[in-house]
């Protein structure tokens, strides 16, 4: 069975800029909540990080293995942001690094 790693079909630009991430601690305690849309149980990240496609796939496999045929699972996140990295021992400049994940 082929791997079900998520990746965008096509993009206007292959590499994104980093952008600005909002501070996680500034959010009001009870104002921002993510209600469940489907099902009775959910999985929530407590830290603000980018999720890799391999991490989402690993969680999906664990959930499917536990619930087997008696339940359903919905994955509502998508790894849409490419992360680039330059090789080690590379001098500054010479453009942006290649896409890592």
Contact 101, 81 (CB under 8 A): no
Task: Name the least confident of 24-33, 38-47, 67-76, 87-96.
Answer: 24-33
Q: How many domains does the chain have?
A: 1
Report if residue 74 sits inside a domain.
yes
In a domain, 82, yes or no: yes
Confirm whether 77 is domain-assigned: yes
Q: Which DSSP string corresponds to 27-55?
A: S-TTT-----SSSS-----SS--PPPHHH
In this structure, is residue 65 part of a structural domain?
A: yes
Residues 29-58: what's their mean pLDDT? 75
| Residue, of 51 and 94, whose pLDDT is higher | 94
Residue 21 lies in a domain: no
66 domain-assigned = yes
């Amino acid at each position: 069975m082929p791997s079900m790693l998520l990746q965008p079909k096509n993009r206007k630009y292959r590499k994104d800029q980093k952008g600005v991430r909002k501070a996680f601690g500034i959010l009001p305690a009870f104002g921002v909540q993510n209600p469940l849309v489907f099902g009775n149980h959910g999985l929530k990240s407590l830290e603000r990080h980018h999720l890799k496609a391999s991490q989402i796939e690993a969680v999906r496999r664990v959930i499917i293995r536990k619930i087997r045929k008696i339940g359903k699972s919905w994955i509502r996140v998508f790894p849409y942001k490419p992360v680039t990295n330059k090789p080690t021992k590379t001098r500054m400049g010479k453009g942006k690094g290649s896409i890592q994940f």
